[in-house]
Structure 1
Amino acid sequence: MAARIDALDRKILSELQRDAGRSLEEIAREVGSSKTPVWNRIRKMREAGIIGPSVVVPDPEALGFEACFFVLIRTSEHEAEWQRTFLKALRDRPEVQEAHRLAGDIDYILKVRVANARAYDAFYQALISEVRVHNVTALLSMEEIKATHALPL
């Protein structure tokens, strides 16, 4: 069930999605309100679970993580124990930025960020040594065209 928020909450969320590091005063000015009501609304949205933790988003390429792979995984294993082992392996690897279980021919898709192809191969070898998979296809992203966490509020 979607949380109930009003137009001012949406404006505040839009501003926070743009840059949560700005001062409360700047955000209040942008949404046409004062600091105290904006702070109270932010606090209430945090308490309701609408707003999660505020994080810094570093530039991967500036830090040497120049290769982004999308990894398609098919498995013939669907037992609970296999799934627990697989999910733990994904959670334990910081290279995995996203992991999704899919409907259709592909069972899982991973977004893996590494320095280069050699680093991806090391990741791949470590993963398949821990968990049995039927088929793995790695797709190298040639260019990131759009990346955002912002929701269309």
Structure 2
Amino acid sequence: MSKEVPRLDALDVRILEQLQTDETLPVAELAEQVGSSKTVVWRRIQRLQDLGVIRGRVALLDHKKVGLPIMIFAHIKMTRHDRDVLPKFIEAVDALPQVIEAHTLMGNVDFLLKIVMSSLEDYEHFVWQKLSKIDGVREISSSISLSQNVNRTRLPLRPG
């Protein structure tokens, strides 16, 4: 897959905006909403998937309603930045289903993890038994989310 950013025309953007709102729309209905034919829309969707613009189609779940009411942001500092330590850390956290996002950062912290848990006790166990045992982890500081005021999955698109 190319690292180039694909150019999106106005039709691509209209299709993507509709899919970001409701990905379950049948192609015929989507075509009607964006003012194009079923065949053109279907081909555009296939192209956008092939280009990696559409990475997948999923149901968005409410973490609280599935028994994971605690959201934590863990700030990770590594002991060293060897060529193999950072990829091994990423591989280790990718294997932990409680980690729903992992970001490599510049600055005082090396990684930011977004984690969901059923309780603070479970998080404490997770820190001591999982995170702190990953090779190269020097320091973990955590911020607990009190409330989630904005939670978007919809990207602000424009033709390019």
Tell me the TM-score range normalised by the shorter chain. Answer: over 0.9
Select which of 12, 19, 23 maps to 1:9. 12
Matched, 1:140 2:141: no
One-letter identity of the residue aligned with 1:100: H
Where structure 2 has 5 or more consecutive residues not aligned to the other structure, the ranges are: none
Q: TM-score, normalised to structure 1's length?
A: 0.92
Matches within 5 A, 1:91-106: 91-106=94-109
One-letter identity of the residue aligned with 1:139: S
One-letter identity of the residue aligned with 1:114: M
Where structure 1 has 5 or more consecutive residues not aligned to the other structure, the ranges are: none
Q: CA deviation at 1:120?
A: 0.9
Whole-angstrom distance in 1 between the partners of 2:54 and 2:127: 34
Select which of 58, 64, 70 maps to 1:67. 70
Contact 2:132/2:140 (CA < 8 Å) preserved in 1? no
The residue that corresponds to 2:87 in the other structure is 84
Give the number of the structure with larger relative contact order, counting CA–CA contacts within 8 Å between residues 6 or more apart.
Answer: 2
Whole-angstrom distance in 2 between the partners of 1:22 and 1:67: 32
Decide which moves more: 42-51 or 90-99: 42-51
The residue that corresponds to 1:130 in the other structure is 134
Q: TM-score, normalised to structure 2's length?
A: 0.89
Whole-angstrom distance in 2 between the partners of 1:151 and 1:5: 13
Number of equivalenced pairs: 153
Q: CA deviation at 1:81?
A: 3.1
Decide which moves more: 128-137 or 71-80: 128-137
Whole-angstrom distance in 2 between the partners of 1:129 and 1:43: 42
2:140 is paired with a residue of what secondary structure? strand
Q: CA deviation at 1:145?
A: 1.0
Whole-angstrom distance in 2 between the partners of 1:6 and 1:144: 33
Task: Give the root-mean-square deviation of aligned CA atoms.
Answer: 1.4
Q: CA deviation at 1:64?
A: 0.3
Contact 2:77/2:110 (CA < 8 Å) preserved in 1? yes
Whole-angstrom distance in 1 between the partners of 2:133 and 2:61: 30
